[in-house]
Amino acid sequence: MAQNAPEEPGSAAGQPQYHGAPANALPLTASEDRQWATLAHFGGILGCLPSLLIYLIFRDRGPFTAQESKEALNFTLPPTIAAVLANILVLLPVVGNLFAILATGIWIALTCFSVSAGIRVNHGQPHRYRLNLRWIK
């Protein structure tokens, strides 16, 4: 005859001993909020993916991060799409070199604007890009 393990106090019969913790993450501290907001802008060097991930993960945990990652995402999304298209069009035989130059120019501009914004946000100042479509409200 198999011996049953003793039940934990407060647990119902047939329920596992350990339960998963709720997925409620703690709010960011002021320092962490500024750090993630800064990283959202610096991530523009790699395109729109870093700011998108930071926005989706931290938007409910810190107001500054939510605001700045959304701003960075709105700014980096159109140039990222344009750069991807330009990199695909590089494969065209005659005009491929022009698209390579265009893709490089987009990346350089995106890098300069992202680093400038990241430095400003790191000092705790919100940043608004002058030319921004603001698709994500």
The residue behind tokens 């931290």 is 58
Amino acid identity for residue 127 in this structure: H
Rounded to the nearest integer, the mean pLDDT of the chain is 87
Confidence of residue 69 (pLDDT cuts 50, 70, 90): very high
For residue 25, the model assigns a pLDDT of 78
What gap in Å lies between CA 129 and CA 77, rounded to an integer? 13
pLDDT per position as a tens digit, 97-115? 999 999 999 999 999 999 9
Q: Which residues, other chains included, contact 93 with Cβ-Cβ below 8 Å and sequence gap of 6+?
A: none
pLDDT over 90 for what percent of the chain?
Answer: 73
The residue behind tokens 């501009």 is 109
What gap in Å lies between CA 37 and CA 59, rounded to an integer? 10
Confidence of residue 96 (pLDDT cuts 50, 70, 90): very high
* Structure tokens given for 136: 């994500």
For residue 80, the model assigns a pLDDT of 96
**Listed residue (75, 4, 88, 86) closest to 40, CA to CA:** 75
